[in-house]
Amino acid sequence: MAGTGPFRDIIDGDVYKYYAEGEWRKSSSGKSVPIINPTTRKPQYMVQACTQEEVNKVMEAANAAQKIWARTPLWKRAELLHRAAAILKEHKGPIAECLVKEIAKPAKDAVSEVVRSGDLVSYTAEEGVRILGEGKFLVSDSFPGNERNKYCISSKIPLGVVLAIPPFNYPVNLAVSKIGPALISGNALVLKPPTQGAVAALHMIHCFHLAGFPKGLISCITGKGSEIGDFLTMHPGINCISFTGGDTGIAISKKTGMIPLQMELGGKDACIILEDADLDLAAANIVKGGFSYSGQRCTAVKVVLVIESVADVVVEKVNAKVAKLIVGPPEEDCDITPVISESSANFIEGLVNDAKDKGATFCQEYRREGNLIWPLLLDHVRPDMRIAWEEPFGPVLPVIRINSVEEGIHHCNASNLGLQGSVFTRDINKALLISDAMETGTVQINSAPARGPDHFPFQGLKDSGIGSQGITNSINMMTKIKSTVINLPSPSYTMG
């Protein structure tokens, strides 16, 4: 169970502690932040409300620990990461329990997230050894006008202290996707978990503690964003920020100074279906991509753009699959579970009401009980409806009928977001041309949008983000190049 056994040290009474300098501590504020169970809509857990002074102490300790960690042999860093990965997978049960209760993630998906996270950490350790174990050697006479009297040796070195801010929907996996690359690269890591998902993240951090990482190298700060959010992101002790979330990321990017930013900020992922597509495959991927975890994924299918001549068939096939989705609590492994909060449910309902008022066709009756919203497919959606452009982050999917591929591409590219897109066709030449034309970070051909496997590049264009994620890209992003130039004296001899 959560907070028991090997995790008993991370809780005091009913309040989970924060992690700093290798210890689990209570905040001097004496305050706590409640975490609401999306299913019961009642407080499930409480975490510490840390102060700005505690943030300062964490930064001081991180800076000191990082300097030592940067000199730690690469193989030792990798060894500790492998150990943490094994511990994480060993304790998947309690961590998955937290995910079920904090964010209403279906039980089987919660376990999968933890196991996937362990695999990600191990892969990162191995990839880090390969990438960081290599340097580069240059000689000066390869550039015009130079003699062979300068040698340049370059290698990757850490940035310093990395601030990691994951989202509620993957508070473990999208935390370790930042933690692993930061640590293998020789950085210190400060984690600010989302409020919903904080307890799962604290359990995950304890696995790194049990692995034996040096004190001060890893910290986990909990608290109210209104009190410590800006203070953290603008702290002079931070050398890099890796953030996954929504519009908050845009605000962060405007406030931070000259430090590297890695940001994924959501998407309005379009699925374009051509008349020659495998319609059964398309329908299956629309349902999986649009309704998995109740649509609360940045890479969920957010709008279906289907050629008019096959639209009726596609809608019929999708409706048949939607009818089989099981709606209910996450403990019962239901397909559709409550969305994260009442405010989120209210926002989704606002999009639904707007579509209704403007004449969208409801393929199912709209139904809501608390935070639980039944899956809904909206047909005949038009561009003047909010749902055509806004990201619902819920189990509501709009269908826009198009007369040409160009019309679909135009709608996709007119969005301010550009995370992923997908196209379904049997013609690979068409698929590649459409992929080139879509202004998104990734285009999936004959599959729904998805993040992963975790070593694949993952990035967004426009307002969907800055930089690229994925294990290799994250390691490169969390390091910088250091060069040493050896200047040789001019030769005193002449060639005969």
- Active site residues per annotation: 264
Cα gap 27→224, rounded to integer Å = 13
Cα gap 194→190, rounded to integer Å = 13
Cα gap 145→156, rounded to integer Å = 28
Longest CA–CA span in the chain (Å) reads 92
Cα gap 301→282, rounded to integer Å = 11
Q: In 3-state terms, what secondary structure has residue 156?
A: strand
Q: What's CA 425's distance to the chain center, in Å?
A: 29
The amino acid at 475: I
Q: Could you give the C-alpha distances from 44 to 197, 221, 336, in angstroms and in order? A: 11, 19, 20
Cα gap 384→403, rounded to integer Å = 17
Q: Which residues of 383-404 are buried (b: 16+ CB within 10 A; e: fewer)?
A: eebbbbbbbbbbbbbbbbbbee
Q: Which residues of 437-447 are buried (b: 16+ CB within 10 A; e: fewer)?
A: bbbbbbbbebb
**Which of 131, 133, 71, 139 is CA-nearest to residue 485?**
139
Cα four-point dihedral sign 207, 210, 212, 217:
positive
Cα gap 64→216, rounded to integer Å = 8
Please state, as a whole number, how many other Cβ atoms lie within 10 Å of the Cβ of residue 194.
Answer: 25
What value does the CA radius of gyration of the chain take, rounded to a whole number of Å? Answer: 25
Cα gap 4→231, rounded to integer Å = 32
